[in-house]
Structure 1
């Protein structure tokens, strides 16, 4: 890691987490941590270039097939790779295959960029994901080993108590809120050796506990609007990312579009 380094290009690879769901902007598009990071890097590097190849719902095999070669060819200063979590949430998951594909991705990307950044993805507190945690932790242990072998950085979002707070998660319970994305951008910024703006792991202020009736109402809404459709797509082999192009497919000079500095809104969005 180079302290106070200057980076002139950034490519983000992954799924809905890197696409930016559910950090919704007034124009209906998503911002997210990668866009926030790109904007901060661009502020100190004239001519800064940014590509975001992420597409919601992608499995690690699709990321390898559709994004890794393209990202490696761009020869960027910084490449971030986040993937595999969608695989671990499937009822049937071949973890040996997932880990092998992650290794293939890292072996391709690491020599092609100045700094590869991997992440232990954040996890929301609660019972829903508990059955999947052993798989997630197996994936994260593999990511740690790959990073050590290939000189990549690992940003440990999974170990952050603040990011596990349910208030950091959108109503779909799978995507971070705008504040969650802001904190991820800060975490990656600091991991790259750049001066901290704030403490991304600072706990949220205490709040009064939610009553039983309100929790059950929220659970029913979640099941009806998000969990049901998500299960339906799993059973039929469909994905919310089917036919969707990358967010920003070319490594081009990055300028914050007009109106994109407005405050993001909440989002009712299906699970990826």
Structure 2
């Protein structure tokens, strides 16, 4: 990649792109997009970076709220990562979600940006209670790949590498990547766009760890359900979003060293 090819990077999406699971709202969030920006800035320190993602957004909201501002920033590189919040809702239409993604792909590539997206891992291997939605994940991945192919969008196949279901790549809530997971995603995108110094090491397995007993695994599931699933369901039943009252953490293109002000709101982390 010639130096200077990517000088205006804009990230669109939901909580994963905002960076939940990598830092917190008191010290600030990092996340794969911030980490990717660091990789890009190592190639060219002239990089400017904006992150428009807001937690809790479904894909239609990402398109409606973030696409216009993204186009106004005239990015030469954009990441579009969305769909998990749609997958988890009772009414899910893979064609509709992929349609919103394709509209963003078409608009951004039409404006001259190189666009990158991700595929999603088998959630049943991360959250056993989520096995009923596995088919949704596979369907959405297939549709995202097809839409990406129609518009020349690069797909980082994070959904296919076995390591992505390793618990160490996920935070305690199992909905958001851990710091290590966010770094692996950033490295996967860097490899997908053939950034100098990148390779496929992100897909390598982690060192073996002790496998929990059945009793330990069941106890862990109960603790997770009480700590995270219950509150998440409660918010959904009340019609509340973890992103209510929040705005993008980095709405303007700024040098990576520039620290924007904190996003509004102080609701605990959620999908």
Q: Same fold by TM (over 0.5)?
A: yes
Structure 1 residue 162 displacement after superposition? 0.5
- Root-mean-square deviation (CA, aligned residues, Å) is 2.0
Confirm whether residue 80 of structure 1 aligns to residue 82 of structure 2. no
Distance in 2 of aligned mates of 1:25 and 1:197:
29
Structure 1 residue 236 displacement after superposition? 1.9
Map of 2:158 onto structure 1:
157
- Structure 1 segments of 4+ aligned residues over 3 angstroms from their partners: 2-6
Map of 2:36 onto structure 1:
37
Structure 1 residue 97 displacement after superposition? 2.2
What are the Cα deviations for residues 22-42 of structure 1, in whole angstroms up to 9, with x where unaligned?
Answer: 011695211111101111211
Distance in 2 of aligned mates of 1:223 and 1:26:
23
Map of 1:121 onto structure 2:
120
Secondary structure in structure 2 of the residue aligned to 1:80: strand
Q: CA 1:256 to 1:188, structure 2 compared with 1: closer, same or farther past 3 Å?
A: farther
Distance in 2 of aligned mates of 1:80 and 1:141:
18
Distance in 2 of aligned mates of 1:64 and 1:92:
19
Secondary structure in structure 2 of the residue aligned to 1:199: helix
Structure 1 residue 197 displacement after superposition? 5.7
Distance in 2 of aligned mates of 1:109 and 1:161:
31
Q: CA 1:34 to 1:183, structure 2 compared with 1: closer, same or farther past 3 Å?
A: same
Map of 1:14 onto structure 2:
13
Q: Could you list the runs of 5+ residues in structure 2 that have no partner in the other structure?
A: 260-267
Distance in 2 of aligned mates of 1:71 and 1:32:
19
Map of 1:260 onto structure 2:
none
Map of 1:70 onto structure 2:
69
Choose which of 199, 211, 214 in structure 2 pairs with 1:212: 214
Distance in 1 of aligned mates of 2:122 and 2:19:
16
Confirm whether residue 231 of structure 1 aligns to residue 233 of structure 2. yes
Secondary structure in structure 2 of the residue aligned to 1:96: helix
Secondary structure in structure 1 of the residue aligned to 2:28: coil
Secondary structure in structure 2 of the residue aligned to 1:159: coil
Secondary structure in structure 2 of the residue aligned to 1:64: helix
Secondary structure in structure 1 of the residue aligned to 2:198: coil
Map of 1:266 onto structure 2:
none
Structure with larger RCO (C-alpha < 8 A, sep 6+): 1
Q: Could you list the runs of 5+ residues in structure 1 that have no partner in the other structure?
A: 258-268
CA contact under 8 A between 1:39 and 1:255: conserved in structure 2?
no
Distance in 1 of aligned mates of 2:156 and 2:4:
17
Please identify, of 216-225 and 12-21, the stretch whose mean Cα deviation from structure 2 is larger.
216-225
Secondary structure in structure 2 of the residue aligned to 1:255: coil
CA contact under 8 A between 1:229 and 1:270: conserved in structure 2?
no
Secondary structure in structure 2 of the residue aligned to 1:128: helix
Written as runs of structure 1 = structure 2, the 5 A alignment for 1:1-272 is 6-24=5-23, 27-124=26-123, 125-126=125-126, 127-194=128-195, 195-196=197-198, 199-255=201-257, 270-272=269-271
Structure 1 residue 217 displacement after superposition? 3.0
Q: CA 1:3 to 1:136, structure 2 compared with 1: closer, same or farther past 3 Å?
A: farther
Distance in 1 of aligned mates of 2:34 and 2:130:
27
Distance in 1 of aligned mates of 2:14 and 2:171:
16
Number of aligned residues: 260
Structure 1 residue 144 displacement after superposition? 0.9
Secondary structure in structure 2 of the residue aligned to 1:227: helix
